């Protein structure tokens, strides 16, 4: 990250947690500075190294490094979580819909997928529950990312024995939509009106109205073109996972902590820092990636909670297979004409 962003994080964390303030001991000797503690924590996140490797470079004990890491990630979540791991508000949704339409997918809100993080120190009693297809204990991260690699949704903590569908059924991804608190989305494709946004997903996801999947073994030029464009646009979330792991090697290698709560804080803090870096390094491009309200606390707009009948109706609308098929066919035609115009 850039030096100004790093110093901004240091100032915010020191102001939030008194642990990072430099103090004197009983003999009047100055203790560790905030830069030493925060640098040690960031080096563990960035390089994925053990705590005892910080002593030679920063003159800091391994126990202090671990304590600094735990307090640092908790401070990042408490200070920056409301802003950089927020649900899309009205302005964000409008911008995401514009990005999707620019790619030929009106109504698209991003791409969804899951990533597994190996848990090296998983307790022996839990290893069967956390071991999936890789036969090693892992923890699953479900995420939604947009084209600029901003991660809008992160659900972490499910055992690695679950697949993407099991994780989805426990995820709060559509909770705000069911509660009537999500921003309104209305668009028209091929003469049909739709009132819910959708995410690009791979073939394992269910055939819901809120997912658009590729076509297996497509026949004809239109369907082949749709499959190619869908798979290309869906790579946004794969790229986001790759960039997240490249920036923070601790989530690329095996996790060495014992408690799942610590791993939850580390993963969440890495995603928040990732979004902060994305915002800071956002360059000049043809598409306006600068989201409204950036640099400020964002409070999602809330509406009244719907009654039970409306809740059930929305639940069935989300899982409507007919709408899923109709939306896919409309996008096949739309992308074919979109390709011809461009």
Nearest Cα to Cα of residue 141 among 170, 116, 163, 166: 116
The reported pLDDT for the residue numbered 216 is: 86
Residues 6+ apart with CB under 8 A from 285: none
The reported pLDDT for the residue numbered 342 is: 57
Rounded distance, CA 172 to CA 178, Å?
A: 10
Per-residue pLDDT of the chain (342 residues; tens, 9 = 90+): 899 999 999 999 999 999 999 888 888 888 889 999 999 999 999 998 888 887 777 888 888 999 999 999 999 999 999 999 999 988 899 999 999 988 889 999 999 999 999 999 999 999 999 998 878 999 999 999 999 999 999 999 999 999 999 999 999 999 888 888 888 888 999 889 999 999 999 999 999 999 999 998 888 889 999 999 999 999 999 999 999 999 999 999 999 898 999 999 999 999 999 999 999 987 644 444 444 444 444 444 445 566 788 888 989 999 999 999 999 999 999 998 877 665
The tokens of 76 are what?
A: 């990042």
- Starting at the edge strand found earlier in the chain, the sheet holding 151-159 runs 151-159, 138-145, 108-118, 198-201, 211-213
φ/ψ (deg, to 5) at 203: -75, -15
Q: Bridge partners of 118?
A: 138
């Amino acid at each position: 990250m850039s030096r100004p962003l790093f110093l901004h994080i240091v100032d915010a964390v020191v102001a939030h947690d008194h642990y990072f303030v430099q103090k004197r001991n009983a003999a009047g000797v100055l203790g560790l500075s905030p830069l030493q503690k925060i640098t040690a924590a960031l080096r563990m996140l960035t390089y994925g190294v053990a705590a005892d490797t910080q002593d030679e470079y920063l003159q800091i004990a391994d126990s202090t490094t671990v304590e600094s890491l735990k307090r640092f990630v908790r401070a990042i979540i408490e200070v920056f979580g409301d802003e950089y791991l927020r649900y899309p508000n009205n302005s964000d949704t409008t911008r995401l819909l514009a990005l999707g339409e620019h790619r030929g997918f009106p109504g698209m809100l991003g791409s969804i997928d899951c990533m597994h993080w190996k848990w090296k120190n998983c307790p022996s009693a839990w290893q069967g529950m956390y071991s999936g297809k890789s036969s090693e204990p892992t923890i699953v991260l479900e995420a939604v990312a947009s084209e600029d690699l901003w991660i809008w949704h992160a659900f972490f903590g499910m055992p690695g024995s679950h697949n993407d569908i099991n994780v989805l059924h426990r995820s709060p991804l559509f909770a705000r939509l069911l509660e009537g608190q999500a921003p309104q989305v209305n668009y028209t494709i091929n003469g049909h009106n739709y009132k819910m946004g959708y995410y690009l997903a791979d073939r394992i996801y269910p055939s819901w109205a809120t997912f658009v999947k590729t076509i297996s073994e497509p026949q004809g030029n239109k369907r082949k073109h749709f499959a190619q464009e869908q798979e290309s646009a869906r790579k946004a979330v794969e790229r986001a996972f790759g960039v997240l792991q490249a920036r923070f090697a601790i989530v690329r290698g095996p996790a060495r902590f014992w408690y799942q709560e610590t791993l939850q804080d580390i993963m969440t803090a890495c995603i928040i820092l990732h979004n902060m870096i994305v915002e800071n390094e956002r360059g000049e491009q043809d598409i306006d990636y600068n989201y409204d309200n950036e640099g400020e606390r964002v409070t999602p707009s809330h509406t009244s909670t719907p009654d039970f009948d409306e809740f059930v109706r929305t639940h069935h609308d989300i899982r409507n297979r007919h709408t899923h098929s109709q939306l896919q066919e409309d996008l096949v035609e739309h992308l074919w004409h979109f390709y011809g115009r461009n």
